[in-house]
Amino acid sequence: GINAEYGEFQTFQDYFKQINLSVSVPANMTKPAIRVCITGGAGQIAYSLLLEIASGKVFGADQPVVLHLLDIEPCVPKLQGVVMELEDLALSLVQGVVATADPLVAFKDIDVALLLGAFPRLKGMERKDLLAKNNAIFIEQGAALDKVAKKSVKVVVVGNPCNTNALTCMKNAPSIPPANFTCLTRLDQNRAKAKLASKLGVSVSEIRNVIIWGNHSGTQFPDARHATVMVGGEGKPLTEVLSDDAWVKSEFIETIQQRGAAVIKARGLSSAMSAAKAIGDHIHDWWFGTEEGQWTSMGVVSDGSYNIPEGVIYSFPVTIGSDRSWKIVQGLAQDDFATEQMKATYNELLEEATAAASL
């Protein structure tokens, strides 16, 4: 059952700034609850993501969670409906909910931070204006994480421009290891896998080790050159199965680079269901590790690998161990085409990072 201890609040808004639901946990559920914060908690991506987490798909069917939902003050009343639905799911894994507009409340003692909330790019807004708006948001959130979150907190930045927002957040949380800050490029990877599977007429699960390099933007480099396809239970290089190199270097790359814009044009809203699935995939792999012989794409702090200078959050192929530490996959051959693509997306990230720093 669910027992709510509401206390006394002066206003409706105060009431929903912090709601703690005490939920009974089955006797066989012995793991301590982890605290997972989702910013933009009243938004459409969060709405899809919450069920993924609450149902056990992300952290496991035996892992209780306390959900922390953060949104801006005008959206706090909307969190009422979200909290009600979480209650009505009647899922025993949900051990509590905190709904608030205060980052210091939302980030208190959390194990995972999924930073979905960001200022959207409005019509007529220049990129520098968008950077300025979001720079302020992620300076505040980084400082709040630094002050009250666990030092082991795993951070996934989704709000765009996510690579640079992650960098800003990381720089403002100096007591948290830089390796704990990542940004989402798994959505791009999932899109790339689906496109290749469609081209070859195989299941998406048969496509492995597609890479997204660089920025989560129109300059990203979706790379199929090191991918494999499972054929008869054996992994074969995709280049042996798909000989259409011209398609790979043109339509494939361009489709993935522009997929987000295509979704917005088609439905009038940005990706939500697929974005939520990708966030769940990202944090699930970070939590449990990647499978032997497979890697995943994550925006992580650059360390000089592949001649990408230090100082940016850049998407690389990574493997993740049972200790939840990631390592950039090394030794992947780069031809002139790949080198050019990887440099172009780095240059954009450098421009963004420089612009953000100047603010």
The tens digit of pLDDT for each residue in 233-256 reads: 889 999 999 999 999 999 999 999
Give yes or no for residue 354 having a pLDDT over 80. yes
Q: What letter does residue 33 receive in the DSSP assignment?
A: P
Q: Which residue has the higher pLDDT, 25 or 161?
A: 161
Q: Would strands 154-157 and 181-183 be described as parallel, antiparallel, or unpaired?
A: parallel
- Contact (CB, 8 A) for 5 and 20: yes
Give yes or no for residue 177 having a pLDDT over 60. yes
Write b or e for each residue in 194-220: b if 16 or more Cβ atoms lie within 10 A of its Cβ, otherwise e: bbbbebeeeeeebbbbbbbbbbbbebb
* pLDDT score recorded for residue 130: 84
Minimal CA–CA distance to 253: which of 152, 345, 356? 345
Structure tokens at 10: 């002066």
Q: What letter does residue 76 receive in the DSSP assignment?
A: G
CA distance 64 to 184: 24
SS3 42: coil
* pLDDT range class, residue 28, cuts 50, 70, 90: low
Q: How far is CA 104 from the centre of its chain?
A: 21
CA distance 324 to 311: 22
CA distance 286 to 323: 9
* pLDDT score recorded for residue 182: 98
Neighbours of 60 (CB within 10 A): 14
**Rg (alpha carbons) of the chain, rounded to whole number:** 21
CA distance 140 to 90: 34
Output the CA–CA distances (angstroms, integers) from residue 52 to 249, 277, 334, in the order listed: 34, 8, 37
- Average pLDDT of 141-159? 98
Give yes or no for residue 11 having a pLDDT over 80. no
Among 50-59, 126-135, 284-293, the least confident range: 126-135
SS3 325: coil
Q: Which residues contact 247 (CB under 8 A, 6 or more apart)?
A: 199
Give yes or no for residue 26 having a pLDDT over 90. no
CA distance 11 to 15: 6
Mean of pLDDT over the chain: 91
The tens digit of pLDDT for each residue in 30-84 reads: 799 999 999 999 999 999 999 999 999 999 999 999 999 999 999 999 998 999 9
Q: Would strands 154-157 and 112-115 be described as parallel, antiparallel, or unpaired?
A: parallel
**DSSP β-bridge partners for residue 38:** 69, 114
Q: Which residue has the higher pLDDT, 64 or 119?
A: 64
68, 216, 282, 284: the catalytic one is: 216
* pLDDT range class, residue 29, cuts 50, 70, 90: low
pTM: 0.91
Give yes or no for residue 355 having a pLDDT over 80. yes
- 216 catalytic residue (yes or no): yes
- Longest CA–CA span in the chain (Å) reads 68
Q: What letter does residue 252 receive in the DSSP assignment?
A: I
Q: Would strands 34-39 and 65-70 be described as parallel, antiparallel, or unpaired?
A: parallel
For the purposes of burial, counting CB atoms within 10 Å of the CB of 252, is it exposed (0-12), middle (13-18) or buried (19 or more)? buried
Helix 273-288 to helix 44-54 angle (10° resolution) is 40
Omega cis (within 30) before 237: no
CA distance 234 to 229: 8
Work out the percent of the chain whose per-residue pLDDT is above 90: 83
Query: Position of tokens 């991506």?
Result: 45
* Helical spans, DSSP H, in the chain: 12-17, 44-54, 79-88, 103-106, 127-148, 162-171, 186-200, 238-241, 245-247, 253-257, 259-267, 273-288, 336-358
